[in-house]
C-alpha cells in the first residue's frame, strides 16, 4: 500500500489538543495542499483564513456555543451544555475556507480544499477535526454579523463553506469505526 493510501486510512478526527502551535513551515505545507485541490473549471474560488489568536478563537468558540444553546436541535443544545465542552477542542489553529459566491461550485471546491488540508496535516503528524459550527454561525443572521465583526479578513462576496481545527494531538489516535459494508456498486 502506498503512503497516500496509508495516510487516508490512518487519518482520524482529533478532539483533544496540546497547547503548542503548529510550526509555520508545516502550516504553509498544509495550506499549499489545499490550493492544489481540484476546482470547477480551475476557478480556485477559495480564500483561506488561518486563525491562531487565542482571544479571537475563544470569542468565536463562545459565539458558536451560544448558537448551539439556542438551536432547535436538541443534540446541539445537549452538547453545548456538557461540562467542559469546547467547540474547537482547545486546538491552537482554526482554518476556515470561504468560497466566492459567484463561482460555479464554491461549496464543493472549498470542501475539496479542506480535505486536502486534513490529509496533508495527517501526513505531517498534525491532528485535525472538521468543525461545522463556524459555517452554521455564518448562516445565522446574528451570527453572520458577529462573525464579520471579528475582522478575520474574509473578502466581500465570500462565504465560509468549510472549517477545521488543527494541532498536535493530546491523545493516541483513536481506532477507526467499522466501515459500513455493501456501499460499493461496480457496474461494468
Name the residue with higher pLDDT: 163 or 176.
163
Distance between CA atoms of 166 and 159, rounded to whole angstroms?
21
Residue 57 has pLDDT above 80, yes or no: yes
Residue 142 has pLDDT above 80, yes or no: no
Q: Are 85 and 79 in contact (CB under 8 A)?
A: yes
- For residue 70, the SS3 value is coil
Give the pLDDT mean for 113-137.
Answer: 96
Round the average pLDDT of the chain to a whole number and report it.
94
What's residue 179's pLDDT? 87
Question: In percent, how much of the chain has pLDDT > 90?
Answer: 81
Q: Evaluate if pTM is beyond 0.85.
A: yes
DSSP secondary-structure letter at 125? Answer: T
pLDDT tens figures, 77-104:
999 999 999 999 999 999 999 999 999 9
Structural domains in the chain?
3-167 (3.40.109.10)
The H-or-E segment that residue 139 falls in is helix 133-139
The H-or-E segment that residue 66 falls in is helix 54-69
Question: Interior CA angle at 59 toward 133 and 115, to 5°?
Answer: 35
Strand partners, 160: 98
Residue 143 has pLDDT above 80, yes or no: no
Q: Is the dihedral of CA 124, 126, 127, 130 positive or negative?
A: negative
- For residue 98, the SS3 value is strand
Amino acid at each position: 500500500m502506498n503512503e497516500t493510501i496509508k495516510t487516508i486510512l490512518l487519518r482520524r478526527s482529533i478532539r483533544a489538543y496540546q497547547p503548542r502551535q503548529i510550526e509555520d513551515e508545516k502550516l504553509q505545507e498544509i495550506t499549499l495542499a489545499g490550493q492544489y485541490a481540484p476546482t470547477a473549471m480551475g476557478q480556485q474560488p477559495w480564500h483561506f483564513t488561518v486563525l491562531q489568536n487565542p482571544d479571537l478563537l475563544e470569542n468565536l468558540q463562545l459565539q458558536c456555543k451560544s448558537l448551539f444553546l439556542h438551536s432547535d436541535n436538541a443534540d446541539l443544545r445537549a452538547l453545548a451544555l456538557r461540562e467542559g465542552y469546547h467547540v474547537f477542542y482547545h486546538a491552537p489553529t482554526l482554518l476556515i475556507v470561504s468560497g466566492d459566491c459567484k463561482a460555479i461550485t464554491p461549496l464543493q471546491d472549498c470542501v475539496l480544499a479542506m480535505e486536502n488540508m486534513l490529509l496533508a496535516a495527517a501526513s505531517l503528524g498534525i491532528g485535525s477535526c472538521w468543525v461545522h459550527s463556524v459555517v452554521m454561525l455564518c448562516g445565522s443572521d446574528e451570527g453572520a454579523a458577529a462573525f464579520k465583526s471579528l475582522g478575520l479578513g474574509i473578502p466581500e462576496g465570500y462565504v465560509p463553506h468549510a472549517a477545521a481545527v488543527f494541532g498536535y494531538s493530546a491523545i493516541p489516535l483513536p481506532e477507526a469505526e467499522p466501515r459500513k459494508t455493501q456501499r460499493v456498486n461496480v457496474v461494468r
